[in-house]
Structure 1
């Protein structure tokens, strides 16, 4: 992106990592074009009225020549008033402002809003194919002078929600822990996800599968209070594991033994398999 054009953007789709990268490039281009980093504000429709967002965007800034408003969960914008407000902004955008509408949804986005956005400013970020995700992980470690075993790559992709934002977070932790020159194996990935002192979506799922409400709430509280918490990503990660637990329980109900069910769903590692087997015993279909 050579130039940071102002105006209305619509960034849709579930691939949050690529979406983050697009926004980062836009902000970097704005910084180069205007001689300093832009002022960035993030909003949610359920927290801030769209009229207030646009009013704040139109106010001049003492510290930045370019201002950006990022509105998450844009699929919630549906009223005629909201469409009219966006239409007015899209018709006469300030050259030193940009309004980015973000949503993981594609089909739920209001078509009236989609029609307000120019073709150049509308981008859909689809999930990567399996081979692309494997290549992404291998390239991540190769770029840092490291290697990763194929079984470890498969396990990572099984356990992490299907977007590169989550993959990057886990891979960065692995790279930081093991360092340049290391070759990361399955055991190292499993240990980081399930046995580290840091609470995460995987340790939360363990407590959920154990039907331990008190520990569940304690782990959840620690995660939500952590500096890097992303509640939406946490929910997505947890939902993916619950769906897999449901599929595992259905296979057991269809007379698969636990080993066969785990193999069919590519649930690897004894500790992980025990978590799913315990969860299937404690919850009914």
Structure 2
């Protein structure tokens, strides 16, 4: 089952007694837990019907004991259990003894008045463990992995609509380019943009440009994009902005090299018929970043990219040995690249 199906079931009143949420998208995991909480527990009852736990501090048998205890004054209670590493291949906390057998017994006959949500901060579960097989049989296991490129765009557009605003064409792309792919950061920026636009207003790329602060990595991406399109005046302006923010020139050069290395990797893997998702998994990047790198890759040959990386390696050596002024070295590199 995927998260969308599980959410649909929850809204229809089909609640699983056990949920195991895992993956790298903590923001979406928290969103799911909040939705479940909103469906299960009345707002005025949440202080004593929603019980948080942390398995780094509490043994799992204590959680089972709480789940088996009849709730007071409410029909159901929700147990939110974080740091559930007992489902992964990582080492468990040596200070605590987790009685997995007690949890396994509970899974065979879970109570109808408690819902347990285990939140696992890991990209995958250890399928070899009996407890993982048991929880899959008794409950609902959901993966929260990074959204694909198109999914992320739709997520941003929906987020702005849900806040009572509309989006002009290109707004979602502009926001992701400026704020990055982190859902927590994007959510905060959407709050800001919709507050600025007002209910029923339109959020556009101009508002993103004026209101959303770009991080260093986002500025580097824009700088490389401007170089690729021979917009040297804009590239130099971005470089000056980075320098005004007191970014070290050697760090800027290293990040530029990293971006060109990503472009080369994406180009090479695309040439071997890898999909965006496969490339993202292979090189450990968000699918949307891979999509943008793929667009940049069309503007260079593989040989040209290797030449640029070689030139950046030479520049790094010259900057670190004092053979060239750092800022001047960066400016000359960009001018030669544009030429």
Task: Please confirm whether the aligned pair reaches a TM-score higher than 0.5, indicating the same fold.
Answer: yes
Which residue matches 2:241? 274
Q: How much has 1:86 moved relative to structure 2?
A: 2.4
Distance 1:273 1:64 in 2: 60
Q: Equivalent of 2:119, from 102, 109, 112?
A: 102
Q: How much has 1:70 moved relative to structure 2?
A: 1.1
Deviation per CA, 1:104-124, whole angstroms, max 9, x where unpaired?
Answer: 423254642321213551111
Q: Equivalent of 1:128, from 142, 147, 158?
A: 147
In the alignment, is residue 260 of structure 1 matched against residue 224 of structure 2? yes
Deviation per CA, 1:50-90, whole angstroms, max 9, x where unpaired?
Answer: 33333333333323221111112323555583432321321
Distance 1:124 1:268 in 2: 40
> Superposed, which structure 2 residues align to 1:59-138 within 5 Å?
59-75=69-85, 79=92, 81-109=98-126, 111-112=128-129, 113-118=131-136, 121-138=140-157
Q: How much has 1:102 moved relative to structure 2?
A: 1.2
8 Å CA contact 2:16–2:140 kept in 1: the answer is no
Q: Equivalent of 2:201, from 182, 185, 197?
A: 182
Which residue matches 1:58? 68
Over the residues paired in the alignment, what is the CA RMSD in angstroms? 4.0
Distance 1:49 1:101 in 2: 13
Structure 1 residues 24 and 62: alpha-carbon distance in aligned structure 2, compared to 1, 3 A threshold: same
Q: How much has 1:137 moved relative to structure 2?
A: 1.9
8 Å CA contact 1:141–1:148 kept in 2: the answer is yes
Distance 2:67 2:226 in 1: 51
Which residue matches 2:231? none
Structure 1 residues 124 and 141: alpha-carbon distance in aligned structure 2, compared to 1, 3 A threshold: same
Q: How much has 1:164 moved relative to structure 2?
A: 4.2
8 Å CA contact 2:61–2:102 kept in 1: the answer is yes
8 Å CA contact 1:4–1:30 kept in 2: the answer is no
Structure 1 residues 282 and 31: alpha-carbon distance in aligned structure 2, compared to 1, 3 A threshold: same
Which residue matches 1:155? 174
Deviation per CA, 1:139-188, whole angstroms, max 9, x where unpaired?
Answer: 33345553334454223223545454543332123212321243323343
Unaligned runs of 5+ in 1: 195-201, 210-240, 252-257
> Superposed, which structure 2 residues align to 1:163-202 within 5 Å?
164-194=183-213
- 1:118 is paired with a residue of what secondary structure? helix
TM-score by length of structure 1 reads 0.61
Structure 1 residues 97 and 145: alpha-carbon distance in aligned structure 2, compared to 1, 3 A threshold: closer
Q: Equivalent of 1:3, from 10, 13, 16?
A: 13
Structure 1 residues 65 and 187: alpha-carbon distance in aligned structure 2, compared to 1, 3 A threshold: same
Which residue matches 1:238? none
Name which one, 1 or 2, has greater alpha-carbon Rg. Answer: 2
Unaligned runs of 5+ in 2: 1-8, 229-233, 255-339
8 Å CA contact 1:8–1:117 kept in 2: the answer is yes
Structure 1 residues 269 and 20: alpha-carbon distance in aligned structure 2, compared to 1, 3 A threshold: farther
8 Å CA contact 2:22–2:125 kept in 1: the answer is no
